[in-house]
Amino acid sequence: MISPAPAPRIFRVGIAGCGAISRNHLEAFSALDNVRIVGVCDVDPDRASATAASWGVPHAVTSVDELLALDLDIVSVCTPHPTHEEVVLQAAAAGVNVLCEKPIATRLDSAERMVAACNEAGVQLGVLFQRRFWPASQKIRAAIDDGTLGKTVMAQCSVMLHRAPDYYNRDAWRGTWESDGGGVLMSQAVHQIDLLQWYLGDVAEVYGKVNTYRHGDYIEVEDSATAVITFTSGAMATLQASTAVSPNLGIQLRITGETGASASLTEFPEGSDGRLDLWAADGRIVVEPVHPEGVEPNVDLSIINGQLIPFHKLQVQDFVQALESGTEPAITGQDALKSLRILLAVYESSRTGGPVRFAPAHPAHAAIPSARPAISQLGSPVKVAG
């Protein structure tokens, strides 16, 4: 007699935080047959109840303790940046796996505690960087691995975005060091910093400057930043990022490999699927317009988030499959820690006026200055000119 196949495991999920980005998590988890969203949590009881009613979720609670008491397998963290640590540490202590919105935290020591707690508890910690799941992003990664591009030696990244005053004013926590943790680097360019370190590897040194040119009357963080990043391989990258641009110019990331081939990834309008606007290999150049005619450049945040839902779905699916198979998810807390370390180093470099050095570069390349500012306070408030 053939024994019946075991019933598939159903993962019980709770959503912590019912703000704008929670929609993406609710959509993504709801799309999976082996997931049940059993509870949502928000400090605002009306918002928690409204979210639960809209999505058919059985429980609406106002504390993480109550959420974790629902016998969860996964908690999805959609709370403001500085609160991530508290939620993740509570989940780890309860033996619950965590999928956390970016940035992982606003301070390096906070992020390190989160990663360590999940490791010690034996639970997975994933962090949302859904742009890695664009087909164009994956094609570039494959071209690095299969030798078409080979090891990346140069990169340039431009994050030139528009944010109106109401973006900062609609939520009291935005635009402050204490609650937001930073400006364009922390909230927007962290995605591209993640792609840079995914494509180029570990960082040796960061030199950067930040400033506030347009939004200084209502934010205390930077709205603009530049950086030069040197990697341990000897590769170099430049980064410019701003939310002071009008109209929005979108995002471009161009890399050149050791074979001489190059590829450029564009996100315009913001939130649209990343696409390859340049593919230069094997003696041929294929291009697409970076800014197609007739496209509205300034896009509301709700539309940006909505257009990213398909890629949230892919990352959430990857996370659940990792739990099923007992493997690591595609993007771990350790990956997110690397991105945070880079952007915090830009703040530190801007504060001190010198480079922040992580590790030596490859000896075959030009030597890096040996001066090393202290990085123990990375993530502390930085006074921004402007």
Structure tokens that stand for 343 in this block = 């952007």
For residue 308, pLDDT over 90 is answered with: yes
* pLDDT score of 385: 34
pLDDT, mean of residues 8-13: 93
What's the chain's average pLDDT?
Answer: 92
Helix axes 190-200, 333-352, angle to 10 degrees: 110
Of 67, 71, 52, give the one whose Cα is nearest residue 16: 67
Note the pLDDT of residue 173.
83
Q: pLDDT class for 235, splitting at 50, 70, 90?
A: very high
Query: Per residue in 63-98, is it b (16+ CB within 10 Å) or e — as a string?
Result: ebeebbebebbbbbbbbbbbbbbebbbbbbebebbb
Kindly state the DSSP code that residue 244 receives in the 8-state scheme: B
Tens digit of each residue's pLDDT (9 = 90 or more) over 199-228: 999 999 999 999 999 999 999 999 999 999
Average the pLDDT over 315-324 and give the result. 98
pLDDT band with cut points at 50, 70 and 90 for residue 359: confident
Reply yes or no on whether the pLDDT at 376 is more than 60. Answer: no
Average pLDDT (107-123) is: 97
For the segment 144-181, what is each residue's pLDDT rounded down to a tens digit?
999 999 999 999 999 999 999 999 988 888 899 998 99
Calculated CA dihedral for residues 150, 271, 130, 289, nearest 10 degrees:
-20
Tokens of 256: 């050149």
Nearest to 331 by CA among 127, 169, 47: 127
Decide: 81 and 181 in contact? Cβ < 8 Å: yes
Nearest 5°: phi and psi at 178?
Answer: -65, -40
pLDDT band for 112, please (50, 70, 90 cuts): very high
CB 173 within 8 A of CB 257: no
pLDDT of residue 4: 63
Q: What angle do CA 116, 122, 126 make, to 5 degrees?
A: 70
Separation of alpha carbons 313 and 235, rounded Å: 33
Flag whether pLDDT at 363 surpasses 80. Answer: no
Position 255 pLDDT exceeds 60 = yes
pLDDT (average), residues 59-81: 97
**Nearest alpha carbon to residue 65 among 87, 97, 49, 35:** 87
Q: What is the pLDDT of residue 374?
A: 33
pLDDT of residue 362: 65
117, 111 in Cβ contact below 8 A?
Answer: no
Query: Strand 262-267 and strand 203-211: pairing?
Result: unpaired
Task: Classify each residue of 185-224 as buried b or exposed e, where b means 16 or more C-beta atoms within 10 Å of its C-beta.
Answer: bbbbbbbbbbbbbbbbbebbbbbbbbbbebbbeebbbbbb
> Confidence band (pLDDT; 50, 70, 90) for 125?
very high
Q: Output the pLDDT for position 254.
A: 98
Q: Where are the beta strands (DSSP E) in 217-301?
A: 224-231, 236-242, 250-257, 262-267, 275-281, 284-287
What pLDDT score does 350 carry? Answer: 98
Question: What are the tokens at 14?
Answer: 């709770």
The answer, yes or no, to whether residue 59 has pLDDT greater than 60, is yes
Q: Is the pLDDT of residue 73 over 80?
A: yes
DSSP 107-150: SHHHHHHHHHHHHHHT--EEE--GGGGSHHHHHHHHHHHTSSS-
Rg for the chain, CA atoms, rounded: 21
- The CB-side HSE value for 163 (13 A sphere, CA atoms) comes to 29
What is the reported pTM? Answer: 0.90
Distance CA 44, CA 47 (A): 5
Q: What per-residue confidence (pLDDT) applies to 5?
A: 59
Q: What's the CA gap between 74 and 32, in Å, rounded?
A: 13
pLDDT digits (tens, 9 = 90+) for 283-299: 999 999 999 999 999 99
pLDDT bracket for residue 375 (50, 70, 90): very low
| Residue % of the chain over a pLDDT of 70 | 91
pLDDT band at 141 (very low <50, low <70, confident <90, very high): very high
Which stretch of 40-49, 296-305, 374-383 has the lowest confidence by average pLDDT?
374-383
Write the CA distances from 378 to 94, 178, 186, 201, 340, integer angstroms.
29, 14, 13, 21, 10
